[in-house]
Structure 1
Amino acid sequence: MSVNPLKILIVDDDEGHRFLMKESLEGPIHNTDIAFSGTGEDCIFKLSKETYDVVIIDFNLSDMDGLEVLRDMNCKEYNIPVIMVTAFGDESIAVEAMKLGVCEYVVKSEDYLRRLSTIVIRVVQEYKLRKEKKGVEEKLKESELRYKALINNMIDVVFTADKDLNILSINLACERVFEYPKEFAPKLNLYDLIHEEDKEKIVDCFKGSFASKREFIEGYEFRINTGRGNIKDVQMNAKMDYAKDGDAMRIEGVIRDVTDRKEFEHKLFQIDKLNALGLQSSGIAHEFNNILGIILGYLDILRMQLGDTNVRVSDTLKVIETAARDGAIIVDKVQQFSKIRKEYEGVERIDLINVVNEALEFTMPRWKTEAQSKGVEYEIVKNNLTTSKYFVKCKPSEIREVIVNILNNSVDAIPHGGRIDLSAQSEDDRAVISISDNGMGMSEEVKDKIFDPFFTTKGVRGTGLGMSVSYSVVTRYGGEIVIDSCLGEGTTIHIKLPLCSEEVTKRKVEKEVVSDYRANILVIEDEEVILDMMKVILEARGHNVFIAKDSSDGVKMYENNLYDIVLCDLAMPKLNGWKVARFIKEYDAIRKKSKTPVVLITGYELDMESLDYKKEGVDYILNKPVEFKKLHRIISDYSTANVKE
């Protein structure tokens, strides 16, 4: 293995001295490459061309002294170890030479040649060690700077604190999370930042950790008050350092802002609650729809039997029908509030300003007529509600209901009178309707629960469905409801909906035509009361009605008879409505008969957008409570089509 020779440059204007120094070095140092220079100028030239491990310079040269050579070397940044030799020992020269970077100052005494090799080896080794040390220090400094930059660029707060939670060091993230300038950080105490309601549990946490000599605190969540007066949710992970006697010395930790995550979790929790309640309410709604269907059906039977002979009875029946249909609307709301959809049947392009003004007219009896009768005055202020430039896609009755709900809430918030402001504006690609009142406002707890189904602050007067239904309607159309409110400062509710420009095609309303055709109808329904009711109503129209209380019986009847149309309930034991419909279509194919129309009747809320019910053998889905005018039209349409065939 070859070793590179030690390259030495000897600078001396005395040729004899040069050879003596060479001989003194070549013996002890086995592998050397020695070069000579007789002047300082030649030394500088050789250094510009070659690299040397060490330079030996005589102080007295013919063209310049050794100090001048050193200055020139420093000017040209020749970083090479230098040994200066001189015939005269001069302390001031030695000091100046050392300042200029000389590694060793050697006086030409009688034995200096004997010592020269040892001095050269030592100087070269020391230089290498200094160079290596400097390289390590530079790397260490570079690593420290990278580490410091990494810590300062972290989105989480990295800190050290004493056992009393006084900040000892902290990164730049404190400006974003704590909302305090970094120069103020050393004056901070973590305990002072903690929200008042959370201080006790944090103190207990640290006390318990110190008492049990616990080393780590992981995933501990609490709230802080920031320098700008905001409240944030944070999560802390910390490590405690203890002295040999067990006393806590220092806390090192990371604090992460989890405010956005907590808000997202809260929204997910709200959605989960809505979904759970939606599943629960679906079954309840089905039962109510059956009851309401029976009431409305027998009202029709009563009308047919009584005719118009008694006006008072007829008016009473109308009141009962109105109440039953209002009940059906409430059941529909219970089914709808947990459904978040972007489109809905009956969507059209509407002028939002017109809808707001209509909602004001609808609520006028409350904030004007009824209020004035009680000696209460409400000031309604409209801003930017005259120009029709905010068009959205939605079902107008639903958005009108949302605004009516909010207006009624505003009136309830100022029972002794006050001011309600309504305004419209655009925000990016959305229309924003804002409704404000100068009432008592809401607490944070109320704001958190305002969209929860059945949550109300009105006691027995409130249903708790108004805002939850409003939330469902607005989100279904890709919008949002934002609430700005503080206790004692009133409330502003912003309804934000996507703007649209293109015209939505409206469905044509066809004139109802009911034929006189008398159809053979098979009705399959497991509720006997509903079954009897439908038989009476349909027979009153002249149809031949055959009934089956059990779906298995209904299937057997279909196998042995021919029917023009089948009306079948969805939820039944043994065979449900879907299975019955598939059987009918398959059996029609076997006996090579034209397909018999199947109308599925249900009290459940089905997702009509994603459900391909035609593939299941169903021709039409009719919701309970049944609107018998619609049912008569369906029977008429299918019967007419069969006659033409």
Structure 2
Amino acid sequence: MSIEKSNILIVDDNEDHQILMKEALMQSVQEANIVFAGTGQECLLLLSKGKYDTVIIDFSLSDMNGLEVLRSMHCKKYNIPVVMVTAFGDENVAVEAMKLGVFDYVVKSEDYLQRLSVIVHRAIQEPKLKKEKEKVENDLRMSELKYKTLIDNMIDVVFTTDKELKIISINLAGQRVFEYSCEAIKGLNFYDLIYEADREKIIDCIKGSFAGNRELLEGFEFRIMTGNGRVKDVQLNANVGYDSSGNVTGFEGVVRDITGRKEFEQKLFQIDKLNALGLQSSGVAHEFNNILGIILGYLEIVKQDLGDVSEKVLDALKVIEKAARDGSEIVDKIQQFSRIKKEHEKEEKLIDLIDVVNDALEFTMPRWKTEAQSKGIEYEIIKNNFTSSKYRTRCNPSELREVIINIVNNSIDAMPNGGKIETSIKTDENNAIITIKDNGIGIKDDIKDKIFDPFFSTKGVKRSGLGMSLSYSIIARHDGEILVDSYVGEGTTILLKIPLFDAEIEQSDAEETRVVDAHNANILVIEDEEVILDMMKILRSQEGIMYLYHRIQVLVSRCMKIIYTILFYGPGNAKAKCSDQGC
């Protein structure tokens, strides 16, 4: 037992007793500074001038007794452990001393010096231990307060349950997500919060995990029924405690509200389905256009050759023509749905490409920030050359945003463990070039030529494989170009070239008038349907070149729409090549 630099005051009017007590204390309390006082007054004077860890007071002093010294110390509020020593044992004195707050009471006997050393050592140690304990307890309270504040301020629900999964504690987020008060939710069974349609499946999964003594339950997604009767999508991650026999002792879980994410995913899924339907409908429109073109063309020939016929026949022909034209309108609607026609030009606006890219990055933020951080994944988004407003073009902003969103999502998929996505904008003659670069897994050489094919995907059946084909179609409709540069293991760079807006060019185009020389028209008809070509020959032989020109304006316009349908599937199509050559 040793105490460093302990100050001890011995109050005794007998110098021999002072020396004996000092020698006994020095053996147990090393590095002690021992001071003597012969009277009660001297003791009080020394206490007023210095600080002492403990005081040893003999009951019998020349000027006052030990109890009087204690009373004076009590009045002066000296909070110092006092050990009273007396030559005779008096129960009343001992009781009175204890009332005045004495630390201990020692009767001088044969072994009193040994007992005194132990008591003094304890008198010195206990206040220090008490202070250390108070400090530890205070630090613990502060730590608990910080932890509780952190937990209560989390956006996720943090809760604990007993072995039966009855909720014991829950943070403030529980009120927002479960829509119960904290008092009301405590005592509820966690199973009861699960939406009824999902309950049996999730309970089986959780109990199956218990049976396998799984300590971590990760990524359990299901629906809950809130206290207000609303259905929400949540994700559960939990830690399970077991005893030595493998029985569940408790459950600590985190529940995240993923309702917004699910709604966003559902919207994307619906967009993919509609886009797929649009691609399919474009093929149907192609076939119907051919059939309707033949019907209307030959109907015109029949009407020219009939001469005088009854009203009944003419009415019948009118009905056929009306039905055919109604069918043409239906096909026209299908083409609008599939976005083959350039109806998007009506929705074009003069925009700044920087705003479009910023909007697209903001729309994808749930994936590269919120969702990624919840999984401990970090994505770095870098934007270069985003301080200028000279990158202006005329386009449909929603379609262009869709292209950039598709590319950013592909970059995120290519970096499952996190990475860097770098975006930049620059000009190249009459074009603005948007560059989106990642350091992901890259694209294999054997599939680079397939990435723009409809329904091609390397991500499994959960993805439609339409993102890049739609992106290609959108950029093509805006007279732009999409380029891919990728290396396996190094990353992928996508370049989007879009024509810059030129007010002078647009004005001159608007003011330009075209005059068609009706007497010197050279017409080249390209059609893969032999029946329609025969029909064109018949019309030419009957009415001449002007009549043919007029009918081509009416009927062949639909053929051009069909050719544009082919363009929708990419530049590899033969008819598209014909169109590029001005056919």
TM-score band, normalised by shorter chain: 0.5 to 0.7
Q: What secondary structure, in the 3-state scheme, does the structure 1 residue paired with 2:545 have?
A: coil
Tell me whether 1:324 sits opposite 2:324 in the alignment.
yes
Match of 1:576? 574
Unpaired segments of 5 or more residues in structure 2?
A: 349-508, 550-559
Taking the TM superposition and a 5 Å limit, the aligned residue runs for 1:136-147 are 136-147=136-147
Counterpart in 1 of 2:7? 8
Per-residue deviation at 1:187? 4.1
Alpha-carbon separation, structure 2, partners of 1:116 and 1:258: 69
Q: What does 1:370-385 correspond to in 2, within 5 Å?
A: none
SS at 2:523 equivalent:
strand
- Write the distance in 2 (CA, Å) between the matches of 1:241 and 1:146: 25
User: SS in structure 2 opposite 1:524?
Assistant: coil
Distance 2:186 2:299 in 1: 79
Q: Report SS of the residue matched to 2:180.
A: coil
How far apart are 1:8 and its partner, in Å? 0.5
Identical amino acids, percent of aligned pairs: 56
CA contact (8 A) 1:40 1:66 kept: no
User: SS in structure 1 opposite 2:73?
Assistant: helix
**What is the aligned length?**
400
Distance 1:235 1:30, change over 3 A: closer
Q: Which residue of 2 aligns with 1:45?
A: 48
Q: Is the 8 A contact 1:66 1:84 kept in 2?
A: no
CA contact (8 A) 1:520 1:543 kept: no
Distance in 1 (CA, whole Å) between partners of 2:561 and 2:114 is: 123
- Give 5+ residue unaligned stretches, structure 1: 349-506, 547-565, 585-597, 600-645
Shift of 1:69: 1.9
Match of 1:123 in 2: 123
Which is helix-richer, 1 or 2? 2
Match for 2:522: what amino acid?
Answer: N
1:65 maps to amino acid:
V
d(CA) in 2 for partners of 1:223, 1:130: 52
Q: 1:139 to 1:5 in 2, by over 3 A?
A: closer
Report the alpha carbon displacement of residue 245 of structure 1 after superposing the two structures with TM: 5.0
> Aligned letter for 1:277?
L
SS at match of 1:542: helix
How far did residue 100 of structure 1 move? 7.1
* 1:309-363 CA-partner distances (Å, limit 9, x unpaired): 987666555544443343333334334446699x944469xxxxxxxxxxxxxxx
Deviation per CA, 1:170-204, whole angstroms, max 9, x where unpaired?
A: 44443223322222234423344443333433454
Q: Which residue of 2 aligns with 1:270?
A: 270
Against the structure 1 CA distance between its residues 281 and 112, is the aligned structure 2 distance closer, same or farther, given a 3 Å change threshold? same
Q: Does structure 1 residue 69 correspond to structure 2 residue 73?
A: yes
Q: 1:519 and 1:45, CA in 2 relative to 1: closer, same or farther beyond 3 A?
A: farther
- Out of 526, 529, 535, the position equivalent to 2:528 is 526
* 1:522 match: secondary structure: coil
Query: Residues 523, 334 of structure 1: CA spacing in aligned structure 2 closer, same or farther, 3 A cutoff?
Result: closer
Mapped partners of 1:154, 1:101: distance in 2: 49
Question: 1:292 aligns to what SS in structure 2?
Answer: helix
In the alignment, which residue of structure 1 is the partner of 2:436?
none
Partner residue of 2:31?
Answer: 31
Change (3 A) 1:113 1:531: same
* CA–CA distance in structure 2, aligned partners of residues 322 and 267 of structure 1: 39
How far does the alpha carbon of each residue in 1:212-271 deviate from its partner, in whole angstroms, 9 at most, with x for none? 555554433433332222233333344554555555554444443333333223222212
Q: Is the 8 A contact 2:233 2:258 kept in 1?
A: yes
Instruction: Compute the TM-score of the two structures, normalised by the length of structure 1.
Output: 0.49
**Counterparts in 2 of 1:218-297, with a 5 A limit?**
218-244=218-244, 247-297=247-297
Matches within 5 A, 1:294-309: 294-299=294-299
Q: CA deviation at 1:273?
A: 1.3
**Residues 1:18 and 1:211: Cα distance change in structure 2 (over 3 Å):** closer
Residues 246 and 178 (structure 1), Cα distance of their counterparts in 2 relative to 1, 3 Å cut: same
| Structure 1 residues 335-414: aligned runs within 5 Å | 335-337=335-337, 344-346=344-346
Give the drift of 1:26. 4.6
State the Cα distance separating 1:97 from its structure 2 match.
Answer: 6.0
Change (3 A) 1:92 1:521: farther
Judge conservation of contact 1:58–1:66 (CA < 8 Å) in 2: no
Instruction: Choose 266-275 or 246-255, whichever is displaced more.
Output: 246-255
TM-score by length of 2: 0.53
Instruction: Report what 2:190 is aligned to.
Output: 190
Rounded to whole Å, the distance in 2 between the matches of 1:118 and 1:319 is 121
Equivalent residue letter for 2:531? V
